[in-house]
Structure 1
Amino acid sequence: MHRSAPRLTRILACAAVPVMLVVAGCSSDSGSDGAPEASASPSPAAKKSPSVAPAKFTQLPDPCSVLAQKTIEDLVPGAKSKGGTAGKSSDAASRGSCSWNGLDDNGVKGSQYRWLDVSLLRYDSDSSLGVSGEQRAQQSYAKEVDKAKATEGAKSVKTSAAPGIGSEATTVNYTLNKTDEDFVYATVVARTANGVVTLTYNGTGYAGAKNPSSADLTEAALKAAKEAVASVESVNK
């Protein structure tokens, strides 16, 4: 059976072009116009929010109650207010602070000034960002340590790990000249789950009294920080 000339010419032309062009441009004898059939594209799956662990702690204690009265008496003799002075907070469940200060006047032996501050932070999990409360607290913990190390005017800055306090803790020691006196500082930053506690303790001697030693201040600050962390953990049980 002989093929018609036009049909034979068409077959030869299609055989001479690359295979991919044949598929797109050469039709069969069925009478198709060569246009590719439209295929339905699968619709993209709906994006789901990342799953994150819920925050362990849902509240914070009253910052002025995280330390026992005996602790305040030992660390801040002659405290102006044993109940402490609370810092302002627009969200007491997420942040708060309290401070104490006092001058222990020893007459001709001079005076000892002490200042103590406790700051509490709590972080919720954020499913929209896929970040847990604990991860956010870890980031905050690192920032608080860096902030203490970068205190303006601080001299002889030293940092050391503080094991046994919460999930992780760091002590930052330095001296700072204020009102023509050298103040000795010990700051302890601790994280427990999704909570961060920063405790700063400093002091100086007036009227010829010797300055407190960094070792003594640090020992007292570590004990107080451990007590504050325990208060955060206890209120969430």
Structure 2
Amino acid sequence: MRSLPLTLVARMLPVAVLAAAGVAMTTSSDSDTHPKPSASSPRPSATPTATASADPTSAPTSDGQGDGTAAPRYPEPPAKPCGTLPAGTVKELVPEAETAGTRLKTSDATHRSGCSWHALSGFDYRWLDITYDVSASAPARARTAQGSGPSTAVPGLGDQASVSLNVTTDDDQRIREAVVVARDANAVVTVTYNGGDFETHEAAGTEEIRKGAITAAKTALAALNG
């Protein structure tokens, strides 16, 4: 049996060490809410890229104050983002993970929150994270998931949603990642789900990763409504 790659060993370090290494939510702009992995992370480097978009058909109604400003549908992101996924869903997508998750750090909790789960089941590795970005006005700026291939729309998920797939290779280890970006009114939910087998060095299956990311995104988006 092969030994674990150094990148995976680094990923399995205590949460405090990971946070110090750079696994934290950035707050440089409203469109940059995805956690940035450290250089030692086995995760692919692809992250969602923001593009401005206006969708007036999905904007909430006026707040009735006479100034024509649309009232945001969601006043803030979930205060307990690690509780937005049921324990059963976490166990299904990330076997052996602590269902409590790891809350992602942010200096702007009134607009951003998120949680991540990661674990090894034997040599089968899975990573899942969810981030919420709630804009002060509506509609929120839409974003398109970016990967090595084109993104595709995900019907019936919020006002607008897309998914992209990407495969990267690091030290002969292949990792497949899906990124789902879904917008509903003034909220954007981004889900990243990836995995690979650290014994065979093969990436996780395409449909497993794609469907898993979409499943998590649907649940995460529904959690905005309580």
- TM-score above 0.5, yes or no: yes
1:120 equivalent in alignment to 2:135: no
| Aligned CA-pair RMSD | 1.7
Under a length normalisation based on structure 2, what TM-score does the superposition of the two structures give? Answer: 0.66
The equivalent position to 1:198 in structure 2, one of 190, 204, 208, is: 190
The CA deviation at 1:209 is 6.6
1:178 alignment partner in structure 2:
170
The CA deviation at 1:160 is 0.5
Cα shift readout 1:89-114 (whole Å, capped 9, x = no counterpart) = 22222101111100000xxxxx2100
Structure exhibiting the larger radius of gyration computed from Cα positions: 1
Give the paired residue count. 160
Distance across 2 between alignment mates of 1:66 and 1:192: 16
Aligned-partner residue type, residue 167 of structure 1: D
Q: Check conservation: 1:112, 1:209, Cα contact below 8 A.
A: no
Structure 1: tracts of 5 or more residues without a match: 1-48, 106-110, 126-132
Alignment of 1:1-237 (within 5 A): 51-61=68-78, 62-79=80-97, 81-105=98-122, 111-125=123-137, 133-134=138-139, 137=140, 139=141, 141-142=142-143, 145=144, 148-149=145-146, 155=148, 157-208=149-200, 210-234=202-226
* Percent pairwise identity: 34
More helix by share: 1
The CA deviation at 1:221 is 1.0
Q: Check conservation: 2:119, 2:125, Cα contact below 8 A.
A: yes
Q: Give the secondary-structure state (helix, strand or coil) at the position aligned to 1:56.
A: coil
Distance across 2 between alignment mates of 1:210 and 1:174: 14
Gap change, CA 1:119 and 1:179, over 3 Å in 2: farther
Q: Check conservation: 1:76, 1:101, Cα contact below 8 A.
A: yes
Distance across 1 between alignment mates of 2:84 and 2:77: 10
Under a length normalisation based on structure 1, what TM-score does the superposition of the two structures give? Answer: 0.63
In the TM superposition, structure 1's runs of 4+ consecutive aligned residues that sit over 6 Å from their partners are none
Structure 2: tracts of 5 or more residues without a match: 1-65
Distance across 1 between alignment mates of 2:209 and 2:82: 20
